[in-house]
A and B are shown apart, each in its own frame.
Chain A
Amino acid sequence: MLSAYFEIRNLKIDYKTYEKQQNVLDIERIAIEKGKTYGVVGESGSGKTVLALAIMGLLPCPPGIIKSGEIIFDGEDLLKKNNKEMAQKYRGRRIAMIFQDPMSTLNPVFTVGYQMMQVIRQHQNLNKKEAYKKAIEMIQVVKLPDAEDIMKKYPHQLSGGQRQRIIIAMALACGAEFLIADEPTRNLDVTIQASILKLMKELQKKFGVTVLFIANNLSLVSTFCDEIAILHDGKIAEQGRVKDVIGSPQNYYTKILINSVTKGESVVRKKQERDEVLLEVKSLKKYFPVKKRKSERLFVKAVDDVDLKIYKGEVVGIVGESGCGKSTLVNTILNLHEPTSGEVLFEGKNIFQLDKNQLRKTRKDIQIVFQDPYWSLNPRWLVKDIVSEPIKVHEKLNSISILKRVEDLLELVGLPKSSAFKYPHEFSGGQRQRIAIARALAVNPKLVVLDEPTSSIDVISQAQILELLKELRERLGLTNILISHDLSVVNYMADKVIIMYLGKIVEYGDAAEVFKNPLHPYTKALFNSIPTLESSDIESLATLEGNVPSAINPPSGCRFHTRCSMANERCSREMPVMKEYSNNHSTACFLYEQ
């Protein structure tokens, strides 16, 4: 049988574990034509990294066992090559890999230049000078300025986006023709992600590279690739041309995946009677001191002069990239640290001037559900102890009534009563998040902060958790603050949305309005940089130039002016103030002054 340029046939890989030998990958066929882009979509644990490592011949065996199959690359079966041959002829030279975490992929104790030159000289017969030149050239190819300067830097001195560019440069430095990208943008902000994707696409065309693109985000993969395969539990659920798979999904799992992305906006967006303010934040500042340099004292201005009001019964979404101050804002509201200045009024009382007893009471009224249910539950406690922790702190009940309450709470969040006597590790991610929600609800709080409640659980559970949150909100009349980087989640859940950039709120308003008609240039860039199932190709995504400036020394005037395409001289001089643009929709930008 004539094979494609790259082809996987009947690949079966097992993992040997304590209880049994388990099949982790069972792929019938993946075929990629030269120059094409093939995407594999799968959640964590679906076997996608195993696939990448198996192709590179770097799968650790044991515990991995390659049971059968062929990986054919340009007419040769890679599985039949020994380690030496792979190293000399294939790895780096013809097939290169881009790993998910750019920080841990670069060796921290060598300079970027040294590592690049090592790779270049391994494959090309160049002397030091020539290798140096080649490395500089590659750094320019990936569009990083000051190549000479970057060569001298250590990985930790670069930003995430810069590191990923270096890694792409290294992968391409020796003329690899086949590139495996394993979640190359996983830990990057969306605006950076868009620019990295664009770069990859551009270089793919320039160097005529074939790409196997692996990620957990369906929209991302479908935008980037020609063909896709949906990987679920090590097996391909569905594969084919992007249009076909997305347009008319056949498989049950694919449908859920697609649904999870296009959940659309909230149907029950009730008009709020806006009379009772639950929480008010007034010119809140939180500066963290950093190391003194000479006599000057420096601060990270994590939250800088933020005002907001949250009414009873509202769900307010806070959106922004990492470092925008959203977590600091929430931690301050939770009274986990003192603000530098400003006030947080909960039911009219400043929470930083409360005495011990009042503070305790406020703590009872404000609860939080964290992002990762694996990290937020004490692994050594039984579920009943976890859920009852707030009850024990705030109420005096005997153990029988506490247990009764716990069981009720568990039922409320859709878990069986018997869960009370299990440990967190016996549950799946989605179930753990339910436990976390039960804990947050245990003492009937008035405000529940949801910190990325769905971002680290699988897609199927995601949908269920969102459903549950929505239901609970209606049933208990909760007020929520929802932090998420996933705009579709915010769109689905929130009544109001706040956009933050570098410690400041740049836009604020009713969610429906903001999503339909974003005003601030940053909001627009943010919204448009996220690939959706509708985005036709990578080129259509918006990107932002440069890096997020340092919060220690933020730009003067409008903080966004350094990266804003609409900025003029005034923006760098003056700080725009929040102005209401239309009903319940405000922004801080000079473009909308009149």
Chain B
Amino acid sequence: MDSRIYNLMEIIRPRVKEVGFSFYLLKKNKLTLAAFYVIVALFVLAILAPYIVPYPSHISDEANVANKLLPPSGEYLFGTDELGRDIFSRVIYGIRISLTTAILAVGLAIIIGVPLGAIAGTIGGWVDEVIMRITDIFLSFPPLLLAIAIVSIVGSSLNNAIIAIALSWWPWYTRLVRGQAVSLKERKFIQAAEAIGTSKWKIIFSHVVPNTISPVIVQASMDMGGVILTIASLSFLGLGAQAPTPEWGLMINTSRNYFLNAWWYSIFPGLAIFITVLAFNLLGDGFREIMDPKTRKR
């Protein structure tokens, strides 16, 4: 085992260098770095939400009508809603809901989309044809519309919204991965594996899929923003989260009845959506640049 020690170092060193290089590129792009910090902060807030918000009980439908629709103050940073709940607490708690739902939706889309794309691209022929025509059909719905149709019929709930979004989002990953797989096939290591006698499934899942990871990560980070926006939109239509969940879109929907008298009610959840989505979009943009082989070439 003595000779194995140096092996460990050999494995770690280039990885560290790689990560260091990514950070270097990240640092060069100030905006991306800022977005990165914002997202880290959002995750921390999401995890700690139950412990740090001033009124943890206000995330339920507990009513405190005496304090309803109070403007922002030292006591209620973002004011209160029609049931007298602290909007600040609810907005912070909302991070948790938006992030988890978005991660679940994107993750589900990846789980469906990536294998299909890798299979279509690697095997080709009629399998490719069938898979890609099905993706075409799903992609010919205007964005969001399929999700609206599914949820409004299956029933409004956050879980259904996640499934509906994944169902309308997976084709993008299939397309992306298929394109990657097709160009990977040109790379000789796939042919080499074939010539060696490696089975098709092994080629798909150990040669093709690992090589599509970075474009998929880039795509996923760019999609996070869009998915958060979509969830908020569905909830705004009453199709996603249901009261009393402190979901931002739903909060804005409820606030419509009061917004001319209580501006704070709709402004703060909206700002929360904007900041979160913006941070993810900026990070996605930056990721794309960092992962781009053209940029990585030293």
- Of A19, A377, A421, most B-chain CB atoms within 10 Å: A421
Q: Of residues 377 to 402 in A, which have CB atoms within 8 Å of B's CB atoms?
A: 377-382, 386, 389-390, 393-394
In the complex, what residue of chain B is closest to A440 when comparing beta carbons?
B192
Q: Is there contact, CB below 8 Å, between B189 and A378? A: yes
Query: A380-B210, A418-B6 are known contacts. Are A370 and B298 too (CB-CB below 8 A)?
Result: no
Residues in chain B near residue A439, CB distance under 8 A? 192
Answer yes or no: A422 CB below 8 A from chain B CBs. Answer: yes
Answer yes or no: B142 CB below 8 A from chain A CBs. Answer: no
Say which one of A343-351, A361-369, A496-504, A511-519 lies at the interface with B: A361-369
Q: Of residues 179 to 227 in B, which have CB atoms within 8 Å of A's CB atoms?
A: 186-189, 191-199, 207, 210-211, 213
Answer yes or no: B7 CB below 8 A from chain A CBs. Answer: yes
Partner of B14 from the list A372, A423, A436 (CB cut-off 8 Å) is A423
Residues in chain A near residue B194, CB distance under 8 A? 336
Q: Is there contact, CB below 8 Å, between B195 and A367? A: yes
Query: A18-B24, A19-B298, A376-B187 are known contacts. Are A363 and B192 too (CB-CB below 8 A)?
Result: no
Q: Is there contact, CB below 8 Å, between B298 and A368? A: no
Q: Is there contact, CB below 8 Å, between A375 and B189? A: yes
Answer yes or no: A420 CB below 8 A from chain B CBs. Answer: yes
A341 to B4, CA, bound (A): 52
A1 to B281, CA, bound (A): 58
Q: Of residues 263 to 294 in B, which have CB atoms within 8 Å of A's CB atoms?
A: none
Answer yes or no: A300 CB below 8 A from chain B CBs. Answer: no
Interface code A257-300, partner B: CB below 8 Å = 1, 0 otherwise? 00000000000000000000000000000000000000000000
Interface code B1-29, partner A: CB below 8 Å = 1, 0 otherwise? 00100110011001000000100110000
Residues in chain B near residue A335, CB distance under 8 A? 195
A360 to B195, CA, bound (A): 10
A298 to B188, CA, bound (A): 28
Answer yes or no: A426 CB below 8 A from chain B CBs. Answer: yes
Q: Is there contact, CB below 8 Å, between A389 and B198? A: yes
Interface code A319-357, partner B: CB below 8 Å = 1, 0 otherwise? 000000000000100111000000000000000000000
Q: Of residues 27 to 43 in B, which have CB atoms within 8 Å of A's CB atoms?
A: none
Query: A378-B207, A378-B211, A422-B10 are known contacts. Are A363 and B189 too (CB-CB below 8 A)?
Result: no
Q: Is there contact, CB below 8 Å, between B11 and A375? A: no
Answer yes or no: A17 CB below 8 A from chain B CBs. Answer: yes
In the complex, what residue of chain A is closest to B8 when comparing beta carbons?
A421
In the complex, what residue of chain B is closest to A382 when comparing beta carbons?
B11
Shortest A165–chain B CB gap in Å is 28
Q: Is there contact, CB below 8 Å, between A420 and B196? A: no
Shortest B181–chain A CB gap in Å is 13
In the complex, what residue of chain A is closest to B202 when comparing beta carbons?
A393
Q: Is there contact, CB below 8 Å, between B211 and A379? A: yes
Shortest B152–chain A CB gap in Å is 43
Partner of A364 from the list B7, B197, B213 (CB cut-off 8 Å) is B197
Shortest B246–chain A CB gap in Å is 41
Residues in chain A near residue B198, CB distance under 8 A? 389, 393
Q: Is there contact, CB below 8 Å, between A366 and B7? A: no
Q: Of residues 111 to 143 in B, which have CB atoms within 8 Å of A's CB atoms?
A: none
Q: Is there contact, CB below 8 Å, between A377 and B196? A: no
Size category of the B interface is: 20 to 34
Q: Is there contact, CB below 8 Å, between A363 and B196? A: yes
Q: Is there contact, CB below 8 Å, between B10 and A418? A: yes
Partner of B196 from the list A372, A380, A390, A418 (CB cut-off 8 Å) is A390
Residues in chain B near residue A19, CB distance under 8 A? 298
Q: Is there contact, CB below 8 Å, between A18 and B298? A: yes
A376 to B10, CA, bound (A): 22
Q: Is there contact, CB below 8 Å, between B193 and A421? A: no
Q: Is there contact, CB below 8 Å, between B197 and A376? A: no
Shortest B119–chain A CB gap in Å is 18
In the complex, what residue of chain A is closest to B196 when comparing beta carbons?
A390
Q: Is there contact, CB below 8 Å, between B211 and A375? A: no
A436 to B24, CA, bound (A): 32
Q: Is there contact, CB below 8 Å, between A370 and B191? A: yes
Residues in chain A near residue B197, CB distance under 8 A? 359-360, 363-364, 390, 393-394
A493 to B131, CA, bound (A): 47
Shortest B258–chain A CB gap in Å is 54
Query: A18-B298, A372-B188 are known contacts. Are A389 and B196 too (CB-CB below 8 A)?
Result: yes
A18 to B28, CA, bound (A): 10
Residues in chain B near residue A370, CB distance under 8 A? 188, 191-192
A331 to B194, CA, bound (A): 11
Residues in chain B near residue A421, CB distance under 8 A? 7, 10-11
A417 to B207, CA, bound (A): 24
Residues in chain B near residue A418, CB distance under 8 A? 6-7, 10
A380 to B216, CA, bound (A): 15
Interface code A473-490, partner B: CB below 8 Å = 1, 0 otherwise? 000000000000000000
Shortest B93–chain A CB gap in Å is 39
Residues in chain A near residue B7, CB distance under 8 A? 418, 420-421
Shortest B186–chain A CB gap in Å is 8
A422 to B197, CA, bound (A): 24
A367 to B207, CA, bound (A): 18
In the complex, what residue of chain B is closest to A417 when comparing beta carbons?
B3
Residues in chain B near residue A17, CB distance under 8 A? 298
A381 to B195, CA, bound (A): 18
Q: Is there contact, CB below 8 Å, between A336 and B211? A: no
Interface code A430-447, partner B: CB below 8 Å = 1, 0 otherwise? 000000100100000000
Residues in chain A near residue B196, CB distance under 8 A? 363, 367, 389-390, 393-394
Please name 23 pairs of A and B residues whose Cβ atoms are closer than 8 Å in the assembled complex, sorted by A.
A17-B298, A336-B194, A359-B197, A363-B195, A363-B197, A368-B192, A372-B188, A375-B186, A375-B188, A376-B187, A376-B192, A379-B211, A380-B210, A380-B213, A382-B11, A389-B193, A389-B198, A393-B197, A421-B10, A421-B11, A422-B10, A422-B14, A439-B192
The 6 closest A-B pairs by CB, nearest first: A363-B197, A376-B188, A370-B188, A421-B10, A17-B298, A421-B7
With A363-B195, A417-B3 already in contact, 10 other A-B pairs whose C-beta atoms are closer than 8 Å: A336-B191, A367-B196, A368-B191, A370-B191, A376-B191, A378-B211, A389-B193, A390-B196, A390-B197, A421-B10
Interface residues, chain A, with chain B CB atoms under 8 Å away: 17-19, 331, 334-336, 359-360, 363-364, 366-368, 370-372, 375-382, 386, 389-390, 393-394, 417-418, 420-423, 426, 436, 439
